[in-house]
Amino acid sequence: MNKDEIISIKGVNKWYGDFQALNDINLTIKEGEIIVICGPSGSGKSTLIRCVNFLEEFQEGSIIVDGTKLTNDVKKIRQVRSEVSMVFQHFDLFPHLSIIDNITLAPIWVHNKSKQESRKKALELLDRVGIKDQAEKYPNQLSGGQQQRVAIARALCTSPKIMLFDEPTSALDPEMISEVLDVMVELAKEGITMICVTHEMGFARKVANRVIFMDEGQIIEENTPDNFFKNPESERLQLFLEQILT
Amino acid sequence: MSTFKLKTAKPAPLSQVGVTGWLMQNLFSSKLNTAFSFIAIYLLYLIIPPLLDWMIFSADFTSATNNECTREAACWSYIGFKINLFMYGMYPSEEYWRPNLLLIITVAFGIIARLLKGNRYKNKVILSLFFIYPFIAFFLLYGSETLGIAVVETHRWGGLMLTIVVASVGIVASFPIGIALALGRQSTMKIIKFLSVFCIEFIRGIPLIIILFMASVMLPLFFISDIDFDKLLRALIGITMFQSVYIAEVIRGGLQAVPKGQYEAADAAGLNFVQKMALVILPQALKISIPNIVGSFIALFKDTTLVLIIGLFDMLAIAKLATSDADWLGRKTEGIVFVAIVIWVILFLMSQYSKTLEKRFNTEH
Ligand SMILES: Nc1ncnc2c1ncn2[C@@H]1O[C@H](COP(=O)(O)OP(=O)(O)OP(=O)(O)O)[C@@H](O)[C@H]1O
Ligand SMILES: [Mg+2]
């Protein structure tokens, strides 16, 4: 395995019952790379990134994350999850915990950080995503955009090497999308490895190193943003781009 | 061009406000509703006045003996004479201070827990109180030779004291077991899942009365010993088994109502199973389940009266027993009405408390 390779996905096949959701996926990602995945609904984008932190099991192939090969071994799964953070489409903040407790939960319990240290870091992160004054509130007192920024702060507080985003803006009202994207652009500049499932092509153009197009559980096309948008090779991608760019 | 003029608000029509409004809307809104209202009012008229008359207006509160006491209405002095029996059963009267002291300690613990609100040691203090309480309760009620507290065998316990002991042990012990069974039922480990499902479905299909019989007849068979296996302990085991599976099902409902995203967010954060459940899922599931949990506790409280069939003297059994006193013949009704009132008051307080609990959880976030 190459030294600066942080994720290596080889020959992954996944079935739900007898429906094949992923079909021979091969993908290697270098440290610090920003990958954007797009594709029509049901093409397996979520399934793919959820395999990376083993929220989904896969039946064939191998995924190695930062030197740890994913198997059913609980210890290894938790090892990987402690280095990989995820931001969900519907935020999935813990409604019974205050914002600050949401963010410090994993640092305290999974990473054995002190409460004080975690709080300090959490407040810094909240400051960075622009909602420091909301620390003591509860999730349902915040707008969608604010909640998603809290979710990003929560994901960052464990100092992950890899961030996974599953359509982080698609449940948001249009006026809130940019406040979340701005935070993500900032993150991208800092060199953290990111895999983003998103249809925000402006974001892809701005920060992605590679854009991946999936359909029917397969990676159809993979290219730099420039070529991806200017010279789409496959017909399906051309069709897809036409649909979302108009 | 006409300028728009704001209209002033008119007072609401009579059918919307005040006593008449309320009556119109709630009792006489339609023909059918009106008919039902009249039937209900008539039934209340039939029942309430004689009842009040028997219980209060014609009742005798002062007479010292059964013969002086009125025959036409309730004779509450009977309860006055028997009150200790109703409260403590055959517990020796020189030891009444022990259950009384326990009651005071219980209230004191409750007040301490309240006062600690917002204190940073709150959880630790409450947890330690919670752990020492059963020992205090045991040594006070049962006694211990080494501590120099006279032993009072459980067959002398009775009345309200016994009712409360049975109900609270059932409630407190069934809660953790119920949670464990509910989690077991969701486990991916097949054996654990099977065992949990088996326990739940098996016990749920048996009436409490039979479980109590089985506990009193069969448990001694498992424990091969000459010692008489304490009757109260058998009842407690039976009731805890019974209550645990109900709590398990109630909590399972709560667990299923927690959105899948919560499980995934907890997993993705790297929490292990125990952390995920204790920190993320159970707090939400329990909150959802509070009304049903309390409902099930109330049912249990009422069911404790069944222990009389295995020879324990809870309050209801005492009401029956007290009628055999030759000095107070014919006062069974008073005893049963008194028991009903006491149990009703306790259950009413329980359900009120559950409402405030729900409110508190809801305003907290
Ligand atoms: N738990 C599941 N059980 C069965 N089928 C599933 C399950 N989850 C997903 N699928 C199927 O797998 C396919 C891929 O799903 P996936 O969620 O990965 O799509 P997606 O590309 O993320 O789509 P979207 O843009 O709608 O989020 C879909 O056809 C979906 O119906
Ligand atoms: Mg998806």
- pLDDT, tens digit, for every residue of B219-260? 777 766 555 668 888 889 899 999 999 999 999 999 999 999
- pLDDT of B61 reads 83
- pLDDT of B80 reads 85
What strands lie across the sheet with A210-215, from one edge to the other?
Answer: A84-87, A162-166, A193-197, A34-38, A210-215, A218-223
Give CA–CA dist A167/A90, Å, rounded.
9
The answer as to whether B63 is a domain residue is: no
| Among B127, B152, B177, residue at a domain's last position | B152
- Residue ID of nearest Cα to ligand 1 atom 14: A44
How many separate domains does chain B show? 2
pLDDT of B356 higher than 60: yes
Domain check: are B94 and B171 in the same one?
no
pLDDT of A115 higher than 60: yes
- pLDDT of A120 reads 95
Domain check: are B209 and B114 in the same one?
no
Please state whether A42 falls in left (phi above 0), alpha (psi between -120 and 50) or beta: left
Tokens (6 digits) for B100: 């009384």
Domain check: are B195 and B145 in the same one?
no
Pair B357, B290: CB distance under 8 Å: yes
Residue that wins the pLDDT comparison between B155 and B198: B198
Pair B69, B330: CB distance under 8 Å: no
Q: pLDDT tens-digit profile of A73-111?
A: 889 999 999 999 999 999 999 999 999 999 999 999 999
Q: Is the dihedral of CA B27, B32, B34, B39 positive or negative?
A: negative
- pLDDT of B117 reads 80
Q: How far apart are the first and last CA of chain A?
A: 41
Where do runs of H (alpha helix) occur along chain A?
45-52, 74-83, 99-109, 115-128, 144-156, 174-189, 201-207, 225-230, 235-245
Counting other chains too, the contacts that B4-10 makes at CB distance below 8 Å and 24 or more residues apart are none
Contact B268 A94 (CB under 8 A): no
CB contact, 8 Å: A138 with chain B?
yes
Amino acid at A235: E
CB contact, 8 Å: A158 with chain B?
yes
Where do runs of H (alpha helix) occur along chain B?
18-26, 31-52, 77-88, 97-115, 122-141, 159-186, 190-204, 208-217, 219-222, 231-257, 260-268, 273-275, 282-303, 315-322, 332-364
Nearest in space to B271 (alpha carbons), one of A112, A69, A98, A153 = A112
CB contact, 8 Å: B261 with chain A?
yes
The answer as to whether B10 is a domain residue is: no
- pLDDT of B269 reads 95
Our mutation pick for probing the ligand 1 site, out of A18, A36, A45, A236, counting the most ligand atoms within 8 A of Cβ, is: A45
pLDDT of A245 higher than 80: no
Question: How many angstroms is it from A42 CA to the middle of ligand 1?
Answer: 5
Pair A224, A209: CB distance under 8 Å: yes
Closest approach of A219 to chain B, Cα-based (Å)? 24
Domain check: are B206 and B325 in the same one?
yes
The answer as to whether B5 is a domain residue is: no
Domain check: are B140 and B171 in the same one?
no
Residue with tokens 């040594």: B139
Contact B264 A92 (CB under 8 A): yes
Pair A117, B281: CB distance under 8 Å: no
Confidence of residue A11 (pLDDT cuts 50, 70, 90): very high
Contacts of A136 in chain B (CB under 8 A): none
Contact B270 A82 (CB under 8 A): yes
The answer as to whether B355 is a domain residue is: yes
Q: pLDDT tens-digit profile of B131-144?
A: 999 999 999 999 88
Confidence of residue B12 (pLDDT cuts 50, 70, 90): confident
Domain check: are B203 and B349 in the same one?
yes
Give CA–CA dist B258/A173, Å, rounded.
25
Give CA–CA dist B344/B185, Å, rounded.
35
Contacts of A93 in chain B (CB under 8 A): 265
- pLDDT of B191 reads 94
Counting other chains too, the contacts that B285-291 makes at CB distance below 8 Å and 24 or more residues apart are B285/B251, B285/B254, B285/B255, B285/B257, B285/B258, B286/B251, B286/B254, B287/A96, B287/B254, B287/B361, B288/B253, B288/B254, B288/B257, B288/B258, B289/B250, B289/B251, B289/B253, B289/B254, B290/B354, B290/B357, B290/B358, B290/B361, B291/B354, B291/B358
Contacts of A140 in chain B (CB under 8 A): 365
Atom of ligand 1 nearest to the CA of A19: 5
- pLDDT of B305 reads 87
Confidence of residue A118 (pLDDT cuts 50, 70, 90): very high
Contacts of B262 in chain A (CB under 8 A): 92, 94
Q: Range of B198's domain?
A: 156-360
Cβ–ligand 1 contact at A42 (below 6 Å): yes
Percent of chain A scored above 70 by pLDDT?
A: 99
Domain check: are B119 and B254 in the same one?
no
pLDDT of B334 higher than 80: yes
| Among B152, B179, B207, residue at a domain's last position | B152
Confidence of residue B32 (pLDDT cuts 50, 70, 90): confident
Q: Which ligand is nearest to the CA of A166?
A: 2
Pair A111, A158: CB distance under 8 Å: yes
Give CA–CA dist B285/B337, Å, rounded.
38
Chain A, window 74-133: residues with a beta carbon less than 8 angstroms from a chain B beta carbon? 74, 78, 81-82, 84-86, 88, 90, 92-96, 98, 105-106, 109-110
Q: Which ligand is nearest to the CA of A40?
A: 1
Q: pLDDT tens-digit profile of A204-234?
A: 999 999 999 999 999 999 999 999 999 999 9
CB contact, 8 Å: B286 with chain A?
no
CB contact, 8 Å: B16 with chain A?
no
B353 Cα distance to chain centroid: 11
Domain check: are B200 and B269 in the same one?
yes
The answer as to whether B107 is a domain residue is: yes
Q: Is the dihedral of CA B50, B51, B57, B60 positive or negative?
A: positive
Pair A213, A220: CB distance under 8 Å: yes
Residue in chain A lying closest to B280 (CA)? A94
SS3 (DSSP) at A10: strand
Vertex B329: Cα angle to B325 and B330 (nearest 5): 135
Domain check: are B148 and B164 in the same one?
no
Q: Angle of helix B77-88 relative to helix B332-364, nearest 10 degrees?
A: 60
The answer as to whether B348 is a domain residue is: yes
Nearest in space to A230 (alpha carbons), one of A196, A203, A201 = A201
Mean pLDDT score of chain A, rounded to an integer?
A: 93
- pLDDT of A3 reads 64
Confidence of residue B363 (pLDDT cuts 50, 70, 90): low
- pLDDT of B331 reads 84
Q: pLDDT tens-digit profile of B103-141?
A: 999 999 989 888 888 778 888 888 898 899 999 999 999
Counting other chains too, the contacts that B148-153 makes at CB distance below 8 Å and 24 or more residues apart are B149/B98, B150/B95, B152/B91, B152/B92, B152/B95, B152/B98
Q: How far apart are the first and last CA of chain B?
A: 51
The answer as to whether B300 is a domain residue is: yes
Closest approach of A60 to chain B, Cα-based (Å)? 21
Poorest-pLDDT segment among A21-30, A44-53, A152-161, B55-64:
B55-64
The reported pTM is 0.83
Nearest to A109 among B264, B267, B275 (CB): B275
| Among B124, B152, B180, residue at a domain's last position | B152
CB contact, 8 Å: B363 with chain A?
no
Give CA–CA dist A192/A188, Å, rounded.
6
Domain check: are B261 and B282 in the same one?
yes
Domain check: are B120 and B239 in the same one?
no
CATH code for position B240 = 1.10.3720.10
Question: How many angstroms is it from B99 CA to the middle of ligand 1?
Answer: 62
Domain check: are B140 and B231 in the same one?
no
- Residue ID of nearest Cα to ligand 1 atom 2: A16
The answer as to whether B337 is a domain residue is: yes
Question: How many angstroms is it from A166 CA to the middle of ligand 2?
Answer: 7
Percent of chain B scored above 70 by pLDDT?
A: 95
Atom of ligand 1 nearest to the CA of A47: 18
